[in-house]
A = this chain, B = another copy of it.
Amino acid sequence: MKVGFIGLGHMGSGMAASLLKAGHELTVYNRTRTKMDPLVAQGAHPSASVSDACRGDVVMTMLADDSAVESVVFDTGGIIDSLGAGGIHISSSTVSVALSERLAEAHAEAGQRFVAAPVFGRPDAAAAAQIFVVAAGPPDAIEAARPLLSAIGKSTFIASEIPKIANLVKLSGNFLLASLIESLGEAIALVGKAGVDRRQYLDFLTSTLFDVPVYKAYGELIVEAKFEPAAFAAPLGYKDIRLAIAAAEGLRVPMPLANLLHQRFLTLLAHGGDKLDWSAIGQLAARDSGEVKV
């Protein structure tokens, strides 16, 4: 398939490479142009503008936040202006439910099709096509997009025919991960202050009840207090919790644990945590207990 790919950050680069490996004809675009070089070396066409990346059947975007997506889509020469009739925009960015709804409407008005397809996974999983995709959109568009989604990830969950639902599921997943971090942080603070060896404790947990990579990975970061360099920076985690709360507001679903996480991220950022991994909220319980200075 002829595909454009816009947004070559840590995640996007891996996803674009997966599309190439799967044999698709790929045109890439990134604002910082040097990030295109490795993909061009692998066979992608470089493009000089967003518009140029919209000449195929599909354009896929993987950008940092709502405002980056708004700019790429709605600016003059953006995707709305450039994608052909019936063309598909697959948006993998983690954005607000509200923006996803607006994108769906705008693409429909422009005679284009829209699929929201956010992903779960770290950059190394993206490079290995081992991420998990949550997709939502009109069945025909989903069907057309499926070979691409299969190429970038390990499995695809079709959440709904309404694109924004995929974004909601993505936000709920990040909420679950942040909850896991908070709960581990409190448990480790508790037993750690009692003198239990934190590493042995974690090893016990993750070899028994919680024998799953997410507990191992986040537990490891908390036990080691190793929050730099950030694989997923605290401001991004904070953004996602805020977007989850915004979605919960729209649906009128009170989420007290999400509110607690909001407070944790704000505390972390108030203490200079902008460069830290989001798992650093897992150290705030130990800080409140007087064991750790953050």
Contact = CB atoms under 8 A, between A and B. Distances in A.
Interface stretch (A54-62, A106-114, A206-214, A223-231): A206-214
A285 B266 CA distance: 11
A205 B176 contact: yes
A177 B208 CA distance: 12
B201 A169 contact: yes
Nearest to A201: B169
A208 B289 contact: no
A102 interface: no
Contact of A209 (B160, B176, B253, B285): B176
Contacts of A183: 175-176, 179-180, 183, 257
Interface in A155-208: 155, 157, 159-160, 162, 165, 168-169, 172-173, 175-177, 179-180, 182-184, 186-187, 189-191, 193-196, 200-201, 204-205, 207-208
A196 B159 contact: yes
Interface in A117-143: 120, 132, 134
A85 interface: no
A166 B234 CA distance: 31
Interface string A243-261: 0100111011111111110
Contacts of A179: 179-180, 182-183, 186
Contacts of A264: 254
A40 to B, nearest CB: 32
B247 A190 contact: yes
Nearest to A258: B186
A87 to B, nearest CB: 27
A67 interface: no
A189 B253 contact: yes
Interface in A74-116: none
Given A176-B184, A252-B266, A196 B160 contact: yes
B172 A191 contact: yes
Contacts of A244: 190
Q: How many copies does the complex hold?
A: 4
Interface stretch (A5-13, A15-23, A24-32, A267-275): A267-275
A172 B184 CA distance: 9
Contact of A168 (B191, B205, B258): B191
Contacts of A176: 183-184, 187, 205, 209-210
A47 to B, nearest CB: 33
A37 interface: no
Contact of A253 (B180, B259, B285): B285
17 contacts: A120-B209, A134-B204, A157-B208, A160-B195, A165-B196, A173-B205, A179-B182, A183-B257, A186-B257, A189-B255, A190-B244, A190-B255, A193-B251, A194-B251, A252-B290, A253-B270, A254-B289
